[in-house]
Amino acid sequence: MSENTTPSPASAAKGRRGLFAVLGLCLAGAVAGGLAWYFHAAGPARGMAERSVLGLDLKRPDALIESASLSSLPKDILAVPLLRDVLTEDFVFYYQYNADRLGLTGSLRRIIYEHDLKLQDSLIEELLDQPAQVALWRGADGRLKHFLVLMRRGGLAKVLEPLARAALDDTQLREDGELRVDGDRVPLYRLRYNAGRELLFASHGDQLLVLSSPDLLFSDEREAAAAQDGEQPENPGPLQSAAATEDLEELLDGNDPFPERFGLDKRGELSQRIVLGADFLALGYRHFIPAFAGLRFDKGADGWHSFLALDEVDDPPKLDFAPVWQAMPMGASACVALPVAPGQEQKLLVRLGADEQMAKTLGEHLSGAAGLCWYADSRLHSPLLVGKLSAPASAEMDDDLGKLFTSVIGAHEANVQDKAFPVVSESQGETHKWQRQVSSNFGQYPASAAESPEAVSGKGFFRVSLARHGETLLFSLDDRLVDKALDTLDKRFPPLAEVLPGDALVPLYLAPETLSALFQQETLDSLPQDMEPVFRNAAETHLLPKLKVLAGQRRYALSLPAGVQADEPWQWLPLEWRPL
């Protein structure tokens, strides 16, 4: 992105708490980092566990922030015109007054006050206004939740020395483990804040390391080794993970695996660099799109710029998204198209109910590109999927598609004799369509609209549809989108391709006006006034005005140079935001 071409606030807002709550957390680690400079007493030897509670590979984060100044990051994001208009200064204020940051700041100020330390409040800003790396990992819910901060304290170590001496007996701070770096013992410290939240930190030389949770390092196993005098420890502590301990020791020793993990060069003159890996962005479906590696956003002297990374794969699919956009109906709110690796579907099809031969046949013919679009007249959970067959369809292919649809789509219907509604199959010309009614409280149709309302075992239902038009496959929980795509292919409705640039490869499309309408509908539907009056009022007061601003933004097509093909790992390509 550049300063006049900007990304969607949806992508920036996604996981933003995980990205920037870190500002407050590394504040505490930085201040308390003076302790590691001061403490040198030997501690008890610890055993090692095989893995930590979280079991994360600390050399392979899902996202990375490299910043010349963490305190400037929220304001730098607002340098993007679209985000500045939508998020406003409230975005900066939110992270300045975030509960985690306030809790940490309060804990540190209490230590300073109770020990009568002569430290200025400006110390907090000084600590955040320095270069740092923030590596982030997904939590169980898929959000960026766990993080590691690595920064250089520089001349602040001497300033923090009084704090280290004064906090020897503090109730919120204790030594909890150790690392070994260049033969030196490096104490690990645990800081408790906000009634139960904890972080770990360690310092060696001018390097300061902060972990968002002890679970990144410690296991569930307890210390079982006997003490030196032969007695069992009275309160055995958790064991450190051997692999995580080694990774942290290498970080404090100056080894930096994060740029290599994402195929990056040195940050150089960039003030901010944010990298999101495909494992995070693909929401668990990375194995279907192995050629997609990640996204990157750089801020230099001339503003922000965007990049998309491709990975070299065996038998790479051709990067041609034109057939996808020719099948997608006009009026989409947001779209993404990506290359699909051939053969990746076979295992999934077997798990979904296809026999081995059927899965092999379909897997061999599902290739090329696939696209997904959301529409404001549908729902967020019912996008339209477009795929391509690599060979002309046949009666045998249609038979396999019908069997697969029947085995995969459906729900246990308590009021239906066969425990599922029948599949309706229609064939006309080069089109074959399969459809099944599925009861669901989230369905787009009310139960009263069914032919047999008493048979619907919920408040509503879907008409889930799969269609083949020539060599194009269409699927959606919303049958109306499939019908509109069929009209598009039969040239009775305009395709999205008519508004996209024809001289470049377009993997992403955003239409803020209709995207805003979709978000508003989902927000209000999920917060009924009679059930969620407080959250409904908060959404109407704070969110809906921002969605109204979003609706006034221009549409964008994100494009790559035409004819690109990945021929090396982490091949970063410029991603141009074209206003339409």
Question: For residue range 357-374, what is the model confidence (pLDDT) as tens digits?
Answer: 777 777 777 777 899 999
Question: pLDDT: is 344 or 470 the higher one?
Answer: 470
Three-state SS at 204: strand
Q: Quick one: which of 572, 324, 334 has its CA closest to 471?
A: 324
Q: Quick one: which of 173, 166, 152 has its CA closest to 118?
A: 166
Question: Phi first, then psi: what are they for 445, rounded to 5°?
Answer: -110, 140
User: CA-to-CA distance for 495 and 474, rounded, in angstroms?
Assistant: 14
Inform me whether the pLDDT recorded for 19 exceeds 90.
Answer: no
Q: What is the pLDDT of residue 379?
A: 94
96: Cα separation from own chain's centroid: 23
pLDDT tens by residue, 283-305: 777 877 888 899 999 999 999 99
Question: Phi first, then psi: what are they for 453, rounded to 5°?
Answer: -55, -35
Residue positions counted in the chain: 580
- Check residue 88 and report its DSSP letter: T
Question: pLDDT: is 87 or 554 the higher one?
Answer: 554
Please answer whether residues 359 and 407 qualify as being in contact, where contact means their C-beta atoms are separated by less than 8 angstroms: no
Reported confidence tier of residue 579, pLDDT bands at 50, 70, 90: very high
pLDDT tens by residue, 522-543: 999 989 888 888 989 988 988 8
Q: What is the pLDDT of residue 224?
A: 53
User: CA-to-CA distance for 471 and 391, rounded, in angstroms?
Assistant: 7
Q: Which amino acid is present at 216?
A: L
Q: Which amino acid is present at 448?
A: S
Highest averaged pLDDT of the listed ranges 107-116, 180-189, 345-354 = 180-189
Please tell me the chain's helix, strand, coil percentages from 3-state DSSP, rounded to the nearest 5: 35, 30, 35
Inform me whether the pLDDT recorded for 263 exceeds 90.
Answer: yes
pLDDT tens by residue, 142-162: 888 999 988 876 654 455 555
Three-state SS at 320: coil
Dihedral angle computed from the Cα positions of residues 35, 39, 43 and 47, in that order, rounded to the nearest 10 degrees: 40
Reported confidence tier of residue 57, pLDDT bands at 50, 70, 90: very high
Q: Which of 122-126, 308-312, 430-434, 506-510 has the lowest mean pLDDT?
A: 122-126
User: CA-to-CA distance for 293 and 308, rounded, in angstroms?
Assistant: 8
pLDDT > 90: percent of the chain: 42
Inform me whether the pLDDT recorded for 238 exceeds 80.
Answer: yes
Question: pLDDT: is 266 or 488 the higher one?
Answer: 488
Inform me whether the pLDDT recorded for 106 exceeds 80.
Answer: no
Q: What is the mean pLDDT of the chain?
A: 80
Q: What is the pLDDT of residue 280?
A: 92
Reported confidence tier of residue 164, pLDDT bands at 50, 70, 90: low
Question: Phi first, then psi: what are they for 414, rounded to 5°?
Answer: -65, -25
Burial 160-174 (b: 16+ CB within 10 A, else e): bebbbebbeebebbe
Question: pLDDT: is 32 or 300 the higher one?
Answer: 300
Q: What is the pLDDT of residue 7?
A: 42
Residue for token pair 């795509």: 485
Please answer whether residues 134 and 9 qualify as being in contact, where contact means their C-beta atoms are separated by less than 8 angstroms: no
User: CA-to-CA distance for 354 and 348, rounded, in angstroms?
Assistant: 9
169: left (phi over 0), alpha (psi -120 to 50) or beta: alpha
State both tokens at 199. 């972080």
Region 257-272 average pLDDT: 92
Inform me whether the pLDDT recorded for 21 exceeds 50.
Answer: no
Q: What is the pLDDT of residue 233?
A: 53
Q: What is the pLDDT of residue 268?
A: 86
Inform me whether the pLDDT recorded for 487 exceeds 90.
Answer: yes
Q: Which of 5-19, 181-195, 199-213, 413-427 has the lowest mean pLDDT?
A: 5-19
Sign of torsion, CA 558 304 19 548? Answer: negative
Q: Where are the beta strands (DSSP E) in 226-365?
A: 238-241, 272-277, 292-300, 303-310, 332-340
Inform me whether the pLDDT recorded for 342 exceeds 50.
Answer: yes
Q: CA geometry: angle at 22 spanning 16 and 25, to 5°?
A: 150
Domain residue ranges in the chain: 9-265, 322-511+555-564, 512-552
Q: What is the pLDDT of residue 511?
A: 96
Q: What is the pLDDT of residue 376?
A: 95
